[in-house]
Amino acid sequence: MSVVKINVLTVPAEQREVLEQRFASRAGAVENSDGFEWFELLRPVEGTDQYLVYTRWRSEEDFKAWMEGPMKAAHQNGPAGEAPKRPAASGSTLWSFEVVQSAGPKA
């Protein structure tokens, strides 16, 4: 059964562009990870300053392996070995879900 992880990032208005550029520059950073199924960065459009970072994984173990390996290294070293940058978000909360049902368009 797949698992979904949603990282809720509180992002001040003046940091939105910075956050989005950082995610754009990390293209490919998670896509080749074992067990990775889906990624979306969701921008708020009204009433909140919280972005949602949606990832879907084959299993909890696959997510944990990514967190302890590639993700941890990227946050410690910054992109391409650069020094880490000051976070664009002022707060973060991780939500976890198991996929019970899903549907897609009919072919």
The radius of gyration of the chain from alpha carbons, rounded to an integer in Å, stands at 15
Q: In this structure, what is the dihedral angle of CA atoms 105, 56, 76, 79, given to the nearest 10 degrees?
A: -20
What average pLDDT does the segment 66-72 reach? 78
Q: 3-7, 77-81, 101-105 — which one is most confidently predicted on average?
A: 3-7
Domains of the chain: 3-98 (3.30.70.100)
Work out the pLDDT band at 90, boundaries 50, 70, 90: confident
Work out the pLDDT band at 69, boundaries 50, 70, 90: confident
Residue 51 pLDDT greater than 60, yes or no: yes
Contact of 8 with 19, CB cutoff 8 Å = no
Please count the other Cβ atoms lying within 10 Å of the Cβ belonging to residue 21.
11
Q: How far apart are CA 55 and CA 26, in angstroms?
A: 14
pLDDT confidence of residue 87: 83
